[in-house]
Structure 1
Amino acid sequence: MARKPVAREAVLDAFESLLIEEGERAATLDAVAKLAGVSKGGLLYHFPNKEAMISVLLERLDRLLADDLAAMAAAAEGAAAYFIKSSVWADTPLDRAFVAATRLAEVAHQETLRRMAAAQAGWLELLAADVGPAMAKPVLYMGDGLYFNAMLARGPGGPLPAVGPDVDGLLAALGRLRG
């Protein structure tokens, strides 16, 4: 299989970074090209428009989510514990793709909203199999709350907050939910 051109990945990474740091409006073709260190023509060679970049970013997100769902399904501690433990901003490729996609969802990008709903459905299915349908959404909300609060507490470029006690508290709550 042929390797993807380095410039193409640099452009996609730049697009993702601009979405995360500045939002959808700031992620113009010119801004992406500048951040990626390529000419606008070089960007257009790989991505003829912004929608093409969004499409490839969503494909990246789908791949990363599929890997995460597989790991969640196989987790020895159960899907719910895995979900809570992994619901911490760690600047991973999945974190970055997910947050970039949320910035697209904020502006009601329809395909992004569809993909985010599918991701949530996948998590809920695994959580329901682990803790039952009635508790799946509460566990989802535990993980989501942990994730977004940790991300917001970090601030732009700041250090990752210590969330170990929060994770431990949520795992203890999960244990009580399981009875």
Structure 2
Amino acid sequence: MPRKPVARDAVLDAFEALLIEVGERAATLDAVAKRAGVSKGGLLYHFPNKEALIGSLLERMDRLAQADIEAMKSAPEGAAAYFIKSSLWADTPLDRVFVASTRLAEVAHEETRRRFARIQQQWLDVLAADVGPELAKAVRYMGDGLYFNAMFEGASGGAAPGRQADVDSLLATLDRLRG
């Protein structure tokens, strides 16, 4: 009888959490099984090795990023404003999978780097359609800076006080740059 998908998701969630909290090397199969509350055999039923776990995490990242890109495209305020506003840490599934995947990129996991590059290019393409190619790069760096600083501030604690004022200032700057 096939196992419930809930167990598979619990294992993937545990892997994601361990990557965030302790990094790639400490996110062993044994640690993942323990965190997920399953036996190692139960983990191996769903994910025969660590690379299978990584592959599923990257599929999750792709799925969530594509949903975000579609939201950017249809945002009433425009893709650039949406991108800046959504660059604050909100502990969303997308935030968590990005941070977890970053831990893989840090150890030179090439597939992770390739997927990040593809997502960044897709964001840039959507931003360029909204504000032009030059301003699109500036907007992407604005959003990257907000996100990076949120990670320094302790992402799990939410946005630092005053961060919304930074977003408002960047949105005003975007309006000025648009002319």
Q: Unaligned regions of 5+ residues in structure 1, if any?
A: none
* Compared CA separation, residues 75 and 37, structure 1 to 2 (3 A): same
Aligned partners of 1:159 and 1:168: how far apart in 2?
A: 17
What is the alpha-carbon distance in structure 1 between the residues aligned to residue 103 and residue 76 of structure 2? Answer: 33
Q: TM-score, normalised by structure 2?
A: 0.94
CA–CA distance in structure 1, aligned partners of residues 170 and 148 of structure 2:
15
Give the aligned CA root-mean-square deviation in angstroms.
1.5
Deviations 1:96-143 (A, max 9, x none): 111111111111111111100000000000111111111111110100
Q: Give the whole-Å Cα distance in 1 for the aligned partners of 2:140 and 2:157.
A: 26
Q: Which residue does the alignment assign to 1:158? A: 157
2:160 is matched by which residue type in structure 1?
P
CA–CA distance in 2 between the matches of 1:83 and 1:20? 23
Q: Which amino acid aligns with 1:135?
A: L
Corresponding position of 2:89:
89
Measured in 2, the distance between the counterparts of 1:77 and 1:93 equals 23
Is the contact between residue 89 and residue 158 of structure 2 (CA under 8 Å) also seen in structure 1? no
- Rounded Cα–Cα distance in structure 1 between residues aligned with 2:115 and 2:75: 24
Q: CA deviation at 1:178?
A: 0.4
Aligned residues: 177
Q: Which residue does the alignment assign to 1:135?
A: 135
Q: What is the TM-score normalised by the length of structure 1?
A: 0.94
**TM alignment of 1:8-27, pairs within 5 A:** 8-27=8-27
Counterpart of 1:47, as a letter, is F
Structure 2 portions without partners, runs of 5+: none
